[in-house]
Amino acid sequence: MAYIKAMAYCLPEGRLTNEDLYLRFGEKAVRSISKMSGITERRIASPGETAADLATRAAQQLLTEQHCDPQSIDLLIFTSQTPDYQIPATACVLHERLGLRLNCACFDLNQGCSAFPYSLSVANGLLETGAANRALVLNADAITQVLYPKDRALVTLHGDAAVATLLDRSAGGGRLHGFHFGTDGTGWKHIVMPVSGARAKRTADTGREIVTDTGSVTTAEHLQMNGPAVFHFSMTTVPEAIQFALSKWNWAVEDCRLVLLHQANKTMVDMIYRALNVPPEKRFYFMENIGNAAGASSPLLLSEALRQGKVKPGDRLVLSGFGNGLSWSVAAIEWS
Amino acid sequence: MTTIEKLQNVFQDVFDDPSIRLTPEFSPSFYGDWDSLATVRLVLSIESEFGMRFTTDQVAKIKSVRDMLSVLEPLSS
């Protein structure tokens, strides 16, 4: 199995506070949502600033901190749902920006909030087979740029971020112990940008403001979410998936230093923690002043835990992402 | 106790409002505190009280008490 050698993250300069949102949605509504979400400020990309821009900065920081020659990277995976282009893969754009060598595999993975274990497992597979020797995994989303500004449910939750992770096969660091994945495709429509690809084309009508079944004001060209359905999915599926994965690895919550969950919102995260009987000392949060950073959320959480020195050699971590698809993922990581 | 009476107890408990009187038409537009998070709290309480589990699709379609009854009543018959 491969090892996580180091991580670095980039948060955009822009900040959107609860007070900024009072005028848009009303103070009472914002306070009520903030109490539920545990989010008081969101880091948001500037107009024109993309997930790839954030990923570039995270990658450059990581390579500099690790004194890592970009020419030593022979695998780049860019995992995002807000790429720069439909064609080509944004990983190729990043290949140029980062000055990587010609003999370097570059591709995008399209996955939402369950993205991090997916990208780690793909990198692990390519490293394990010897197809690559040193991997740079970039998880980045600028999800706020696909939100309709009047969508109270989503604007109040989301922020933007990028995380860079360096991996290779040499011993030391976060050993990737195992993965578990799941999908319920019957629920794909519960988080969707209806007019965003080949299935439905933009017309004069698709930019028209609409009110969804759950009362959100949005358009067909923006991200839409059925909040109750997604919350229910997360509560019923994620604890069972984590329990299943732990038993598959013969691990238990008690064996883990931290249980790291996608930072969807604090109420949901706490309900999953309670369902798994995770004690307070094994819980970790990083959303209050960041927002839900979509696919970058769970790597951001791990990166911050490392930065704060919460992970020591010998520690076991379990990490889970879940979201659109409907999709969920669990990774087991053992630090050495 | 009928299904709607049992459901009414759940609503009164979740909203901490004993004055709630349910009809099939009762919906968020009738009751201001019934927002999307309240739907989640209601669903989780109903699952516990009725000993059942909604599918995610059923939760997605809840817009009124009638939508809840359409799932719960066949279970009690």
- pLDDT tens digits along B7-38: 999 999 999 999 999 999 999 988 988 988 88
Nearest to B40 by CA among B28, B24, B22, B25: B28
d(CA B63, CA B60): 8
Report chain B residues touching chain A, CB-CB < 8 A. 28, 35-37, 39-40, 43-44, 53-54, 56-57, 59-63
Residue A212, pLDDT score: 85
pLDDT at A140: 98
CB contacts, 8 Å: A186 with chain B: 56-57
Range A23-34 average pLDDT = 92
Identify the structural domains of chain A with CATH numbers, from first to last: 3-171 (3.40.47.10), 177-335 (3.40.47.10)
Q: Is A26 left (phi over 0), alpha (psi -120 to 50) or beta?
A: left
Contact A227, B37 (CB under 8 A): yes
Neighbours of A294 (CB within 10 A): 33
pTM of the model: 0.94
In chain A, % of residues over pLDDT 70: 100
Per-residue burial over A255-276, b = 16 or more CB atoms within 10 Å of its CB, e = otherwise: ebbbbbbbbbbbbbbebbbeeb
pLDDT for residue A179 is more than 90: yes
Of B28, B40, B63, the CB nearest to A232: B40
For residue A138, which of A72, A47, A71, A54 has the smallest C-alpha distance?
Answer: A54
A181 forms beta bridges with A329
From the list A113, A222, A226, A256, the catalytic residue is A113
Q: Provide the pLDDT for residue B37.
A: 82
**Domain-by-domain residue ranges, chain B?**
3-76
Contact A190 B28 (CB under 8 A): no
Among A110, A179, A97, A105, smallest CA distance to A140 is for: A110
pLDDT number for residue B32 = 85
Average pLDDT over residues A121-135: 98
- Taking an 8 Å cut-off on Cβ atoms, the answer to whether A231 and B54 are in contact is no
Closest residue to B40, CB basis, from A184, A187, A228: A228
Percent of chain A with pLDDT over 90: 97
Task: For chain A, give the mean pLDDT.
Answer: 97
Whether residue A154 contacts residue A192, with contact meaning beta carbons closer than 8 Å, is answered with: no
Q: How far is A282 from chain B (nearest CA, A)?
A: 25
| Tokens, residue A35 | 């109490």
Model confidence over A292-308: pLDDT tens digits? 999 999 999 999 999 99
Rounded CA-CA distance B60/B67 in Å is 10
Residue A270 · residue A293 · CB < 8 Å? no
CA B54 to chain centre: 11
Q: Which CATH number applies to B3-76? A: 1.10.1200.10
Interface of A with B (CB under 8 A): 32, 36, 153, 184, 186-187, 190, 213-215, 226-229, 231-233, 235-236, 267, 326
Tens digits of residue pLDDT in A72-116? 999 999 999 999 999 999 999 999 999 999 999 999 999 999 999
Task: Provide the shortest C-alpha distance from residue A27 to chain B (in Å).
Answer: 16
Q: How far is A266 from chain B (nearest CA, A)?
A: 13
pLDDT of residue A95: 98
In angstroms, the CA A323 to CA A115 distance is: 9
**Can you tell me the distance from the alpha carbon of A62 to that of A55, in angstroms, rounded to the nearest whole number?**
10
Best mutation site among A231, A233, A274 for testing chain B: the one with the most B CBs within 10 Å?
A231
CA distance B38 to A271: 15
pLDDT band at residue A214, thresholds of 50, 70 and 90? confident
d(CA A275, CA A265): 16
* CB atoms A232 and B37 under 8 Å: no
